[in-house]
Amino acid sequence: MTGVGWTWHDSDVILPGAEPYSHDGGPIGALLIHGFTGCPQSLRPWAEYLSAAGLTVRLPLLPGHGRTWQELNATRWPEWYAEVEAAHTELTSHCQQVVVMGLSFGAALALHLAIERPDRVRGLVLVNTFVLTTDRRQVALPALRWITRSVPGVISDIKKPGVSELGYDRLPLQALYSATRFQRQLRAALPRLTQPLLLYRSAEDHVVPAASTAYVLRHAGSPDIEEIMLPNSYHVATLDNDAEEIFAGSLAFARRLGTSRNSPGASNGPATPPKPWLDTTHADG
């Protein structure tokens, strides 16, 4: 998606396969958001499926991703969200309605966008939503990030043989700390969510605990929420055995919302910007 959003380290080379994706189609738009340490490759088949069905699609590359984990470690959540926001602004200029879709931490950014722009996000499709962790090692992160730059991460958590995810095998700790601060504030804001919400959750996920999606189910303010289990996929379900179910279900969801105009997010026209609810003053942590 050339010319949209942030330009991050212009001299650096994007990893082959990590490029952003863009397709102009019909009046229904889909904004897809990849996860932390991942890249658009994990969502590319989903984006292409929606494009082939006639939707207008944007799949941006978040700052610091698709290059090196060291570059990601120099970025913070406001930069990742700024890219999402810019892609959404551009997409709404082409479409009557926009549905936002995300994987893992990308799903958390999608929730943020929906709360920030309730009149311009028609609905959400989220896969293995990452808004919290139950890993007790997390308590050491505020101090550990000053001791070491990264720790081993989990990549390609995929059940399907012969399929891999393009991403970093290290977790950059300064960036991760920023992500956790974002998540904490996001959890507090979930009751403000009003749009229809379709949640997919893998029965076995080695990255995000089931408690994360359960938290969204309990606390999101939307009156229209559905959870669908994915019995044969791990964390990166968009590349796994249940991917086709996600693709078809998200398309049906977007089309259903496209026929109903009298609910939150039904208009993508100009709106008065809401008061920000996330504190970016100390975003670098």
Domains of the chain: which residue ranges?
21-258
Least confident stretch, 132-146, 193-207, 251-265, 269-283? 269-283
Question: Per-residue pLDDT for 103 more than 50?
Answer: yes
> Which tokens is 18 given?
């990590």
* Ramachandran class of 279: left when φ > 0, alpha when ψ lies in -120 to 50, beta otherwise: beta
Question: Per-residue pLDDT for 87 more than 70?
Answer: yes
pLDDT at 136: 79
Would you call 10 a catalytic residue per the annotation? Answer: no
Distance CA 269, CA 272 (A): 10
Would you call 157 a catalytic residue per the annotation? Answer: no
Point out the catalytic residue in the list 34, 51, 235, 250: 235
Q: What is the DSSP string of 171-228?
A: EEHHHHHHHHHHHHHHHHHGGG--S-EEEEEESS-SSS-HHHHHHHHHH---S-EEEE
Question: Per-residue pLDDT for 267 more than 90?
Answer: no
Would you call 65 a catalytic residue per the annotation? Answer: no
| Average pLDDT of the residues in 104-114 | 98
* pLDDT tens-digit map of 153-201: 888 999 999 999 999 999 999 999 999 999 999 999 999 999 999 999 9
Helices marked H in the chain: 44-52, 69-73, 77-92, 105-116, 141-144, 173-189, 210-219, 243-258
- Asked if CATH classification 3.40.50.1820 holds for the domain at 21-258, the reply, yes or no, is yes
Amino acid (1-letter code) at residue 41: Q
> Which tokens is 108 given?
């958390």
Question: Per-residue pLDDT for 255 more than 50?
Answer: yes
Neighbouring-strand partners of residue 228:
200
> Which tokens is 114 given?
């929906």
Contacts of 196 (CB under 8 A, 6+ apart): 122, 123, 124, 222, 224, 225, 253, 257, 263
Question: Per-residue pLDDT for 263 more than 60?
Answer: no
pLDDT at 9: 42
Least confident stretch, 60-69, 91-100, 147-156, 209-218? 147-156
Point out the catalytic residue in the list 51, 157, 202, 205: 205
> Which tokens is 80 given?
């990742």
Contacts of 217 (CB under 8 A, 6+ apart): 199, 225, 227
pLDDT at 261: 58
Question: Per-residue pLDDT for 224 more than 90?
Answer: yes
**Residue 60 or residue 261, greater confidence:** 60
| Average pLDDT of the residues in 199-209 | 96
Residue 235: which of 156, 170, 172 has the closest Cα?
A: 156
Taking the alpha carbons at both ends of the chain, their separation in whole angstroms is 30
Amino acid (1-letter code) at residue 204: E
- Say if pTM beats, i.e. exceeds, 0.75: yes
Question: Per-residue pLDDT for 71 more than 50?
Answer: yes
| Average pLDDT of the residues in 250-255 | 97
Point out the catalytic residue in the list 22, 42, 51, 104: 104
Amino acid (1-letter code) at residue 236: V
